[in-house]
């Protein structure tokens, strides 16, 4: 089983409400602050993008549902800071000391911001896992959609696409495997593919028989047909 964040295909969410032309990038000042605190904390080097995604996903379903978007970010960040030993529970309660932190030398400076953003964090890696599939080949996704290393762990195969029959559309080279990287088990890079599925394969009542959904899927999510 996956978690509450895995909502693709879910019923009952109501209309999508587009924004208006000229709406600000950040609806509220604290949204901007939450994004910036999260990005700046990443510079401390205590986690990777897969760990941080998983920190948001394992908020309790109750919290995940009631929190707004940036509340999830800030809450996931607080949990990570404690779990990685950067902050203590006393610190979060406002009862910790103000002594300089051993990681303070890693703090992102204003001058470093452009270069940090420009550098990014590419996920492609050399891999000794040979590609098993070619473009055009039929493949089936594993079922159930689940992390195979850690019970309840991070995975990027959505439940709506588990056990589905598709066709390889693009090869992306080898990328870091989130299922491993989110849990400190190494980057374990392996081939990544864009796989196309007919909407009729995924949904009981597809809007049109010609429509399709494409997902980026790692080789270990796929089986030959």
Partner 1 sequence: MRRMPHDDHDHPHALLPPEPALRVKALETILTRKGLIDPAALDELIDTYENRIGPKNGARVVARAWTDPEFKAALLADATPVVADLGYYGRQGEHMVVVENTPEQHNMVVCTLCSCYPWPLLGIPPGWYKSDAYRARAVREPRKVLADFGVTLPKGTSVRVWDSTAEVRYLVLPMRPDGTEGLSEDELAELVTRDSMIGTGLAGGPS
Q: At what angle do helices 69-83 and 49-57 cross, to 10 degrees?
A: 110
Q: Among 78, 82, 67, which Cα is nearest to 5's?
A: 67
Place of tokens 């919290």: 63
**Exposure of 80 by Cβ count < 10 A (0-12 exposed, 13-18 middle, 19+ buried)?**
buried
Q: Closest approach of Cβ 105 to partner 1, in Å?
A: 8
Q: Which is nearer to partner 1, 66 or 225 (CB)?
A: 66
Q: Closest approach of Cβ 143 to partner 1, in Å?
A: 16
Q: Closest approach of Cβ 128 to partner 1, in Å?
A: 20
Q: Closest approach of Cβ 134 to partner 1, in Å?
A: 18
Separation of alpha carbons 196 and 164, rounded Å: 10
Separation of alpha carbons 102 and 222, rounded Å: 44
Q: Which is nearer to partner 1, 12 or 224 (CB)?
A: 12
Q: Which is nearer to partner 1, 13 or 128 (CB)?
A: 13
Helix (H, G, I), strand (E, B) or coil at 81: helix
Q: Which is nearer to partner 1, 75 or 137 (CB)?
A: 75
Contacts of 125 (CB under 8 A, 6+ apart): 174, 175, 176, 187, 189
Q: Which is nearer to partner 1, 158 or 168 (CB)?
A: 158
Q: Closest approach of Cβ 137 to partner 1, in Å?
A: 19
194: enclosing H helix or E strand: strand 190-198
């Amino acid at each position: 089983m996956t978690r509450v964040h895995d909502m693709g295909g879910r019923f009952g969410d109501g209309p999508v409400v587009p924004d208006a032309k000229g709406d600000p990038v950040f609806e509220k000042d604290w949204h901007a602050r939450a994004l910036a605190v999260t990005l700046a904390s990443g510079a401390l080097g205590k986690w990777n993008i897969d760990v941080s995604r998983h920190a948001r996903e394992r908020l309790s379903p109750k919290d995940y549902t009631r929190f707004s978007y940036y509340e999830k970010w800030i809450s996931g960040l607080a949990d990570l800071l404690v779990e990685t030993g950067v902050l203590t529970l006393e610190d979060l309660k406002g009862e910790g000391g103000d002594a300089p932190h051993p990681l303070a030398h890693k703090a992102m400076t204003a001058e470093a911001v452009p270069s940090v953003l420009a550098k990014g964090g590419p996920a492609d890696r050399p891999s000794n896992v040979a590609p098993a599939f070619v473009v055009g080949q039929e493949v089936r996704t594993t079922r159930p959609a689940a992390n195979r290393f850690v019970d309840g762990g991070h995975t990027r195969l959505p439940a709506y696409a588990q056990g589905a029959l598709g066709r390889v559309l693009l090869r992306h080279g080898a990328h870091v495997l989130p299922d491993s990287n989110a849990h400190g088990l190494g980057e374990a890079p392996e081939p990544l593919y864009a796989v196309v599925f007919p909407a009729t394969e995924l949904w009981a009542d597809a809007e049109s028989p010609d429509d399709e959904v494409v997902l980026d899927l790692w080789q270990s999510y796929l089986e030959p047909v």
